[in-house]
A and B are shown apart, each in its own frame.
Chain A
Amino acid sequence: MRNKLIATMLLASASLLPTFANAQEKSAIEIKNEAFKEVSVPNSTTKKLVPASSAAPGEPLLYVLTVRNISDKPVSNVVVGNPVPQYTEYKLDSQTSSNAKFEVSVDQGKTFGSLGTLQKTAVNGSKSIAQAKDVTNLRWTLSTALKPKEETKITYRLQLN
């Protein structure tokens, strides 16, 4: 599993889109994506977060995105995007971030806005206000540049269907 993951990461890095930047050039930003779940602590009512490698249907998952400027220059116009994975639903109002504008899309990322203002179109053409379960993409637009070595964390929850 671990080897496969690393291989996938390498592959992802290698195929970095040359339309945006020289593939040889090291990215100024590093983004890490980790999943956690809450487990009960024996003999206690508290719960603790542990890294998740699996989850049962219905179980909530906490994802933590760590975005870090690894260059020695400020980086601006930072936008973090995250499609909601298949078989999961975004949990309403579960995201946390700082200095970022959070928006969602219910049409695979074509348009973004706040939940409650977006409409979804049913197969028969009828429109209704989109719900959390309709969210297809999450997006955070940082309002300030990331300073050298600065790191920001974004968290959100998904529930496994």
Chain B
Amino acid sequence: MRLSILIFSFICFASLTHADTNTLCIQKFLSKTVFNPGPADGLWGNKTKKAINQLFSQADEFNVKKIEKDDAEKICKVLESEQNLKLLEIGQFKRYPIDITEVISEEFLKTKFDFSKIKINDAANYFCSFTILHHEGFERAAGKLQIKNGVIKFKDNKWFVGLASKGSEIYLKEEANLRVSDIGIHGKIPYLSYVGKGEVAKPVQYVSLGHNYTKSNANSNIDNGIMGKHKFLDKRGNEASLLIYECSDEMQKELTYDILPVVFKNLNVRVKKRRFNFQSISIDLDGLEIGNEKFDNFNLVLMIDYAEEGSIRGLTELFRIQIKADGIMPEENISNLTNCKNISWKNLAYGVKLQYLIGNEFELNSCLLRNLYPEKRNILGSIANSLPEILKAGLGNEPEQLKDILMVLNDAKQHEL
């Protein structure tokens, strides 16, 4: 009996000596949620550790990684701050993330792949940008992807394949089946072919990756096997590639295609005389604001290459907006422009000019946009979107000229997909 009392007293004493007010604070908070920490005794045990980690794994916005006993004070402060109401709300229900690894339908069989002999990098968790490059170098598709425990999930994406572009964003989202290892990316993806006007739709190809990986030279601490060119062969044996870049731990805000309001104080529009099939319009804008970006003086040139009469391309072969590259893209990216078609940029004696294409060659723009500063990527698209207002403001006194140019612009836009 005496021995039992002694042991009991020892256990109680030991417990008291290890009890911690911060752990107790965590346990009391958890007891108001569905994450059970066990008894509120101030002792850091497995139940408390599991429960607090489960709660924060659901609270993405707090960005708290694995919590250990040493973090108890810091966590307790969060739980006692004004943020506790948000956490209390999150803690009322459990979320079980979806992780479907099985084949869902017959369609999915087209990208079925045997990963059993590949050591998947389960620790790879990133958000990245990607582009799929045709063997001649220009872009076939671009967008965002997420790498979760080594599995690649495609997010927002866009194919630039003419008539086949419509509704194509679903292919990579639903059918791609890729995993990351330390030596590259493995698996199969759908690969769409360009369909021009009057052409018959071509069947989707399913191509395998994992044969050839070239790591990006860019300084990066991202794991091996992710950032760089992952080459694959199309059905004709041509070498195309999936390029993965700009990976980070955080979800990146999609800026590429955002259209922002364009505001300016003054402008001057000069319509040059048409020579053969070419005409240009120079526009100087003072006090230009595009979203949060401000420019004192900004010059852009509209370059119109008229099409021959009766052309299936409509009124224009090309309709371009040309601006200076200065301040819009990092200098080191200029060499990357060689991957884009030369009509989307020009290296002239007085500097590099970027050309945003409206209409027939619209799909080439993402190649250009990818190389701009992220915060500047929506400038060209926003200007293109505001062109009618800019032209109306600048050519208000020349209604006939304005009408003609707007007609050409609208015609070019109709050839966008």
A binds B: no
